[in-house]
Each structure stands twice: as C-alpha cells, then as structure tokens.
C-alpha cells in the first residue's frame, strides 16, 4: 500500500506515493472518451520536468484501462520525436475518495483539429503546412509500426502540435485504443467511423495499413476543412468506405494527389518502400 504524502494539488487532491513532483492542476484543455487533459504547473523545480506540463487524467472508478494502456505504449515509444512524450505519472485521491490516475505529457499548443478549425470553416490549411504536418505524422506512424504497434485511431483530434524552432511539429497522441500488430483481438475494430479503412469494414482487419488510410483521411481534412466523407447514416457510410475512395480535391498541386493515392492504397501500405514513396512526394516543392 502506498503511503499518502502531504502534497495537495488544486482542488483538494492528495498525491499517493513519492515518485511525482509537487504540482497543481490548472485549466482544462480538453475532454475526450479516454480522459481529460489539463495544464499543470510544478510548485517547485524538479529535474527532468519543465515548469508547465499537460496532465491527462482518468478516474479509476470508471473501470476503463485506456489511460494505463496509453502510458504503456507511450513509454515504449520513448524518444520517438513524432510521438507525444510522457514525462511521468502520479495517482491522486480527492476529498470524496475518488482515485485519479494522471499521466504527465509534454505541453502542446493544441490539436491538429484545433488548427484546422482556426484556418476557417470549410477552407482548409495552406498546402505547405499540410505537407509539413503530413510528413511529421508519417514519420511518427513509421516509428509506431516499427515498434510493432497499431495506433487504431489516427485523426486530427489525436495529433498534437508542439512548438519548435520552425513553428510546430506534429506528434501522434492518444494511444488509448492502440494494440500490438497481428495480435489476436476479440474486441473487434476500434476507432472513429469516418477514418475507417476498407479492410476494416469488409473483413474486420485493423493493422498498420489502416493507420495509413486514416492518415489519408486526415490529410483530406487538412486540405478541405471537412471530414473525408459526408455525414450519412452509419450503414451507408460503411458501404461507401468498403467500395469507394474519398474524393481528392482538385485545387491541390500536382504531386499531392499522388501522395493521397499512396495513402489510400489498400495493398502493402506498411512496406518501407511505400513510406519512402510517400515521403519523396511530400518533399516535392518544399526543398
């Protein structure tokens, strides 16, 4: 049994154990199906921790293990520059006895979905930004797949933009639904319907190529500001995904449609040569 130390965070929380720095929970940044994310500030300097961090929290009583699952995958991907990094964890209890699991993450400036929304309703982002962020996500996905994992929920909401010397770098986040590649899975396909791939709908197969397809859908949303498919009843949506490819917008430059064709390729998307082919087209007109 962990001992309780007298280290109170904002809101009357008490930290359990001695492994975490002294911190205060601040503003809510976002809430999703797998926990809530807050800004947090350290009460005093701590080696290895920036003064301001993000804290993703989940009530233990919810019965969900998604945050624990997420932390395991992020720890395994430590050092991957295009995957959001964990810098520790803590367990707290509230005055009412709730147990809260907290994972400390590097602080981002928002999600890719936030930036798409800010670019204007239905107008999309400038093409040079689409290319830069797509390249970052592609590199991150290769890192995820090379470690033997499948993310299972690639979409703009699950990509964070972290400040760097050149502006922002896109980093893959939200590993709550991630799994090991080729693992026996009895829970069925997972993720967000609009980003499902054809093999998921037809055969219930969700492996690395499904992540690549979802990246293609995300690229379309960056270009257009709209989802890859129109809002339709689920049965109709599944039928369209199984038989069609999303429409490629006509206004993008000549090399970008080729990138999207490669991202929407159903065969051997996980091969190294295909990653290189996609990346070579992304570098066109940038270098």
Element (DSSP H or E) covering residue 127: helix 127-146
Q: State the total domains in the chain.
A: 2
Least confident of 1-10, 265-274, 276-285: 1-10
> Where does a domain end: 42, 72, 105?
105
Domain of 84, in residue numbers? 4-105
Say how far apart CA 189 and CA 242 lie, in whole Å. Answer: 14
Q: From CA 22, how far away is CA 101, in angstroms rounded?
A: 15
Residues 45, 146, single domain; the answer is: no
Q: Where are the beta strands (DSSP E) in 151-235?
A: 159-164, 167-172, 179-180
166 and 82 both lie in a single domain: no
**Over 60: is that where the pLDDT of 188 sits?**
yes
**pLDDT digit string (tens) for 122-139?**
678 998 999 999 999 999
Same domain, 246 and 149: yes
Are 39 and 122 part of one and the same domain?
Answer: no
Counted residue by residue, the chain has a size of: 287
> Where among 67, 86, 105 does a domain terminate?
105
Residues 221 and 261 in one domain: yes
Domain-terminating residue out of 72, 105, 138: 105
Question: Do 85 and 125 fall into the same domain?
Answer: no
| Dihedral sign for Cα atoms in the order 17, 53, 44, 6 | negative
User: Are residues 125 and 58 part of one domain?
Assistant: no
- Residue 170 CB neighbours (<10 A): 26
- Residues 141, 264, single domain; the answer is yes
155 annotated to bind ligand: no
Are 117 and 258 part of one and the same domain?
Answer: yes
Residue 78: HSE in the Cβ half-sphere, 13 Å Cα cutoff: 7
Instruction: Report d(CA 171, CA 160) in Å as an integer.
Output: 5
**Residue 278 has what pLDDT?**
74
Looking up residue 97, the CATH number of its domain turns out to be 3.30.200.20
Catalytically annotated residues? 153
**Is the pLDDT confidence value at 63 over 60?**
no
Same domain, 154 and 205: yes
pLDDT bucket at 282, cuts 50 / 70 / 90: low
pLDDT of residue 267: 52
Which residues fall within 8 angstroms of residue 247, CB to CB, at 6 or more apart? none
27 C-beta neighbours (distance < 10 Å), count: 8
Tens-place pLDDT, residues 74-87: 999 999 999 999 98
């Amino acid at each position: 049994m962990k001992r309780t130390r007298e280290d109170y965070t904002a809101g009357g929380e008490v930290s359990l154990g001695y492994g975490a720095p002294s911190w205060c929970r601040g503003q809510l940044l976002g809430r999703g199906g797998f926990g809530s994310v807050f800004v947090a500030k350290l009460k005093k300097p701590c080696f290895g921790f920036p003064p301001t961090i993000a804290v993703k929290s989940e009530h233990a009583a919810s019965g969900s293990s998604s945050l624990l699952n997420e932390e395991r995958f992020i720890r395994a991907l430590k050092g991957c520059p295009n995957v959001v990094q964990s810098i520790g964890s803590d367990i707290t209890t509230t005055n009412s006895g709730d147990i809260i699991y907290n994972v400390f993450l590097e602080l981002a400036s928002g999600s890719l979905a936030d930036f798409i929304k800010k670019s204007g309703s239905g107008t999309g982002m400038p093409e040079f930004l689409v290319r830069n962020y797509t390249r970052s996500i592609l590199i991150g996905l290769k890192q995820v797949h090379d470690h033997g994992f499948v993310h299972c929920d690639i979409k703009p909401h699950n990509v964070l933009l972290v400040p760097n010397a050149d502006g922002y770098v896109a980093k893959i986040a939200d590993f709550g639904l991630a799994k090991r590649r080729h693992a026996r899975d009895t829970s069925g396909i997972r993720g967000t319907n609009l980003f499902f791939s054809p093999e998921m709908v037809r055969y219930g197969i969700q492996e690395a190529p499904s992540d690549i397809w979802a990246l293609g859908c995300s690229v379309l949303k960056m270009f257009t500001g709209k989802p890859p498919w129109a809002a339709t009843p689920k049965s109709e949506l599944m039928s369209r995904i199984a038989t069609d490819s999303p429409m490629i917008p006509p206004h993008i430059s000549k090399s970008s449609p080729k990138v999207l064709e490669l991202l929407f390729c159903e065969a051997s998307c996980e091969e190294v040569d295909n990653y290189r082919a996609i990346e070579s087209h992304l570098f066109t007109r940038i270098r």
